[in-house]
Structure formats: C-alpha cells, structure tokens
A and B are shown apart, each in its own frame.
Chain A
Amino acid sequence: MGDDMFRNVKNEAQRFVDKWAEEHRYQIQDVKFTMYLWRRSRLSLVGSGIVVALIVVSLLAPHLPLYDPFELNVQNRLLPPSWEHLCGTDQLGRDILTRMINGSRISLMIGAMVVTIASLIGLVLGLVSGYFGRKIDEAIMRLTDMFFAFPRLVLAMAVAAALGPGINNTMLAIAVVSWPIYARLARAGALQVKNEIYVEAAKSIGAGHMRTLFLHILPMILHLIIVQATLDMGGVILEAAGLSFIGLGAQPPSPEWGLMVSEGRHYIHMNWWVSTLPGVAIVITALGFNLLGDGLRDIFDVRTRR
C-alpha cells in the first residue's frame, strides 16, 4: 500500500519531469551545447577555476587562520617570505598574505558593484534608446559618443579627485565611465530584436512597452551583457587598483591591492616582496576574469555555434 503510493508519486514526478523536458527540449539542448563548448575551451576552464577559487577565498577570509590585517608589529617589519609569513611582512610588520586575502574582498566587491551599477544604467538607457528610437535615441547615443571620445581612466581620475578619495567614490567614478558600452550593446540588441514577429505578436495581444521591453526583448540580449560584464570585471578591478595606486582610491590602512603595491614601492631596492606580491594578486584576478570573459564570448558567439 505505502509502496504503491510511493511508486505512484514517483511515476507522477517522473512523468512531470519528462513532460517538462519534452516541452523545453530545445532549451535543454542549448544548455547542453553551451556546457560542451565551455568544457572544450581550456582557457575559459582555467578562468572559471581562478574566479571560483577567488570567490571562495574571499568569502572564507574571516574564518581562515590568518593574522590580523591591521595589527602593527614593528619588530617584524620587512621580513622576507618564510613559513611563518608566506609572503613576508610589510613596512609596518603586517602579514602580507593576510592583507592580500582580505584585499580580495575589497577588489571583488568593487568589481561586482561597479559592473552591476554600470550594466543596469547602460541596459535601461540602451533598451529605451533602441526601442523608442528617434529623439531619445539620438540624445542617448550622443551622450555615449561623448564618453567614448574621452579616455576612461582620465575621466575616472577626474571624478575620483573631485569626489575625494575613498572606496565608495572610486566605485562611483568607475561606474560613471563604464556604463556607455552596455548602453551600446543593449541598443544594438534591442534594434535587432524589436521587429521580430514574436515581439509584434506580444504587442498585438496587448503587452505594454514595459512588458515588451523587459520580458520579451531583455532576455534575448542578456547574454551579451553578461559576457561584457565578465570581461569588465577584470578591467574594473585593474582600474580601481590603479586609482588606489596613484592615491585617488582606497586610503591607508586599507589592504587594497593597488595601495599595497604603491606603499611597498619605496622598499623595492632591498625588499622586493612588499610591492610585487600584492601585484600578483591583481594579475591573477584580472587574468581569471579576462580568460573567463574571453571564453564566454566565444561560447555565445553565433559564429562558433553554427
């Protein structure tokens, strides 16, 4: 009796899954094909590995058996790498590895925040621009032109200098300069999709502008945005580190990587590790995101899929 019921439920569930799989056959094929392409490209596998490892480390950072990233210990200053201090200590005797690991939280947060803000602004402006066209389009596109004519880093520096140093202002400054690319992408996508028959069908059964834009057009261009966002993560993290390096970003005693490189550069003559090792963290992070983004772009590229 109980067995029967169990079998019934199981069958029912199985039938439900089968039905779902049948209905979504093409989507499932698509996902499988994507996974296949992803597994095949070694470089993007390496990138994914790096990114996942970074996220795990940064999440676990407070629970790892590490030193205090801020505790000064002048007797231990400028110790070379050893078993006790794997990456040595800095000019104030702080453990460099500890600070690097804590710094990953800062960099990843900056990257994620900036990319989220920039892609949201760009997405909305771009969709509106491509969908409504005419004067709105003209105005928004001229605005993006202006940003493209402007060297990114210089503008970010100007904004950061004007707002005053600090991590929040760094994020704001970089977000201000990075949204236009998303606007362009979203606009191009919207232009391509908006005249498709299914969009017309949606409109003819009474879908409003908002519904059409966000439920029918947005999903079709989301992958473009995601690829761009991944590629941008590396760039944004580099830019943030660069701003901190020249003194317009994070301020001491923050364990921000660019700042650590900058603080250590007065000691490179005798104590190479203080400045170079935090830089390795920047390189690995940027490399991870760029490899992943590059791979993703190939995977989502229509030409590879043919």
Chain B
Amino acid sequence: MVLVLFGVLVITFLLSHVVPADPIGAILGPQAPLEMVEKIRHEWGFDRPLYEQFVDYVWRVLHGDLGKSIRTNRAVTRDLMNYFPATIELATFSTFLAIVMGIPLGIISAMKKDKIPDHFARVFAISGISIPVYWLELVMLIVFYYQLGLLPGPGRLDPYMTYPPRVTGLLLIDSLLAGRLDAFVNALQHLIIPSFVLGMFGAASIARMTRSSMLEILRKEYVRTAKAKGLRERVVIIRHILRNALIPTVTVIGVTYGGLLEGSILTETILAWNGLGQYATGSFLYLDFMAVMGVTIFIAVIYSLTNLFVDILYAYLDPRIRYG
C-alpha cells in the first residue's frame, strides 16, 4: 500500500508539474508583467529543478503539509478538513441506502432467477450504473422541488436556517448535539435527493454481487441437504445461504463507499453541497495545483484505507481466507 501511495504521489506530482497548463498564467492573466510572473514562480518554487521540488513536496506531505491553495489562500489541509465532513455525511448515508436497496434486490433476483422479478431487479441494477448521477439529481430536483415542492432544494440546510455550532462538521450529529431538532430534520430532508441518487448507483453493484454469489451458493450440496432435511425456506436462506453469500458483498460495499466519495464530485456541483467534490471541481477548473494534488492524494489515501479495511474484514468473516 505504501508503494502504491508513493506511486500516486509521483503521478499527481508529474501531472501537475510537467504539463502544458500554466497555473500562474491562469491566475494573473495574459497581460501580467514578466517580473511579476517571475517573482511568483520563484515564490512558489517553480523555478527550481523538478527533482528538488519533488523531494521537497514529499518531505512536506510526510509531515502533513499539503501546501497552500492558490485559490482560497489557505492551507490545503485546512480546506480539506473544512469540506470533508459534508462529503463523509453524504457518502455514509448513501452507502446505507445502497445496502438497504441492493441486498434485498440481489436476494430476490437470485431466488427468482430468470423470472420477472429477476429481470426487474437486473434492469434496476443496470440502470443504476447507466444513469449519470448529476442528471438524475436534476430530474429529481425538477420533480420534487420545483414541481411538487415536497423536498427542499440545493444546499445542506434551508437558506434561512442557521448552522448549528460546528463540532464534527457532520450536520446530523452537530444539530443533535446542539439540541436543534429543526435543523436535524431539515438536514435529513436535504440529504434525501443526493443520497438516493448515489445510493441507487451503489445499489447496482451490491445487488449484482449478492445475486451472483447467492447463485453460486444455491448450487452447493449443503444447501440441498438443508432443504432435504425439511428446514423452512426462510431458515435456509438466512442461516445457510446468506451467511456465506454476503461475504463477497461486503467487499463490494467497501469498494462502493470509495466509489461514492468519487461520485460525490459530480453530485455536489448541482446541489451546492459544499463538500470535497465541490472543492475538487473548483481546484481542477482553477488549475490550483497544490489543492489538486492535495485532493487527489487525500482521496487516494481514503480509498486505499477502505480497501485495506475491507481486506481485513474479509479475512475475519471468512475463516477460509488467511493472508500468509
């Protein structure tokens, strides 16, 4: 993993330093006087040899310093801490919805293989990965906000609401801590559209994995034995099949969580959800390379950590797997 993360560092660094795009030109505009450009290049260290810049950068990353953002003029780490909780809240809630939708769909699909419910569940699963999240969000906004007025519009809270004092940055928890039930309900309502959309996206792969691993296990002999000795269908499904079939599903859930962090990039722009996604998009468009590198590395670390966690969980759930 360390090797992989080092590779990620190299790639992002190369991407942001050996490219045709010119961040300083983008900030100062084409009319900027040459001395000024030179001065800033020197200030940011762009005039030093590449390997020196790289060693310097790695050294600072290892000390938890991701540099300073040109756009916000703050430390990138501070920006990340600022924006990250909103995304965590969204991704966690969406993963929860994805599990709630995905696993039952997968089970139904496997039990009624090649029948109508299976076709329906498969179409749902394939739609989940075929529908662009930002588009579904727009459609839901139009229907449920503009037309029906059932759900609140963009943002994490209604405009007239004051934010509860920031403790964790997760609005649901902060509002409860402050005893603000109104803010809690409002935040929950604001979560519905984005987390349903992301949840549907995640449910697709979860349902697919549940289905195929259940089909695999349905063929096993011990399932036949269990049925033959007269156990009820429900008992066989829950005690014999699901326990084994859900192990691969756990892996997919882990991967989904990482994927939803990524999916939030596209969602947040539309819903004015000021999380990591919006910060990333802004930095990418502004060529704010310190922030770009910071965001990329940060997401890669989270991604690898989830994968690592899933691997450990996997070995724990399935005693047949042991990493030597």
Assuming the contacts A157-B284, A164-B21, A291-B126, asked whether A282 and B8 have C-beta atoms less than 8 A apart, the reply is no
Most interface-central of B19, B269, B284 (chain A CB within 10 A): B284
Name the one of A159, A279, A290 contacting B129, with C-beta atoms under 8 angstroms: A290
Q: Who on chain B is nearest to A280 by CB?
A: B135
- In the complex, the answer to whether B12 meets A158 with C-beta atoms within 8 Å is yes
Report how far A269 CA is from B15 CA in the complex, Å. 39
Asked if B313 lies at the interface with its beta carbon under 8 angstroms from chain A, I say no
List the B residue with the shortest CB-CB distance to A294.
B126
* CB < 8 Å neighbour of A261 from B3, B127, B135: B135
Q: A153-B262, A162-B21, A287-B127 are in contact. Are A245 and B132 (CB under 8 A)?
A: yes
Contact at B138–A151, with CB atoms within 8 Å? no
Q: Does B295 contact A (CB under 8 A)?
A: yes
Q: Judging by beta carbons under 8 Å apart, are B4 and A149 in contact?
A: yes
| Number of B residues with CB within 8 Å of any CB on chain A | 51
A146 within 8 A of B: yes
Contact B11 A155, beta carbon cutoff 8 Å: yes
Decide if the interface of chain A is mainly helix, strand, loop or mixed. Answer: helix
Q: Name the distance in Å between A187's Cβ and chain B's nearest Cβ.
A: 18
Which A-chain residue is minimally distant from B5 (CB atoms)?
A: A149
Does A136 touch B at the CB level, under 8 Å? no
Complex formed: what's the CA distance from A33 to B142 in Å? 47
Given contacts A146-B7, A149-B304, A151-B299, contact A265 B138 (CB under 8 A): yes
Is the pair B265, A145 in contact by a Cβ cutoff of 8 Å? no
Whole-angstrom CA separation of A247 from B304 in the bound complex: 28
Binds B, one of A51-59, A97-105, A124-132, A234-242: A234-242
Determine if A268 and B284 form an interchain contact, defined as CB atoms under 8 angstroms apart. no
Shortest Cβ distance from A145 into B: residue = B4
Cα A270 to Cα B5 with chains together (Å): 47
B146 and A152 within 8 A (CB) = no
With A146-B8, A149-B4 already in contact, the answer to whether A162 and B15 are too (CB < 8 A) is yes
B-contact bits for A272-306, CB 8 A (1 contact / 0 none) = 10011001001100110011001000000000000
Q: Is A1 an interface residue (CB 8 A)?
A: no
CB pair A245 B280 closer than 8 Å: no
Q: B307 to chain A: which residues have CB within 8 Å? A: 149
Q: Tell which of A42, A154, A159, A272 has the most Cβ of chain B within 10 Å.
A: A154
Give the docked Cα–Cα distance between A160 and B285 (Å): 10
Add 10 more A-B contacts to A268-B141, A276-B135, A276-B139 (CB < 8 A). A146-B4, A151-B262, A152-B262, A154-B262, A158-B15, A159-B15, A162-B15, A238-B130, A245-B269, A279-B135
Residues of B near any A CB (own CB < 8 A): 1, 3-5, 7-8, 11-12, 15-16, 19-21, 119, 122-123, 126-127, 129-132, 134-135, 138-139, 141-142, 146, 258-259, 261-263, 265-266, 269-270, 280-281, 284-285, 287, 292, 295-296, 299-300, 303-304, 307
Residues of A within 8 A of B (CB): 42-43, 142-143, 145-146, 149-155, 157-164, 234-235, 238, 241-242, 245-248, 258, 261, 265, 268-269, 272, 275-276, 279, 282-283, 286-287, 290-291, 294
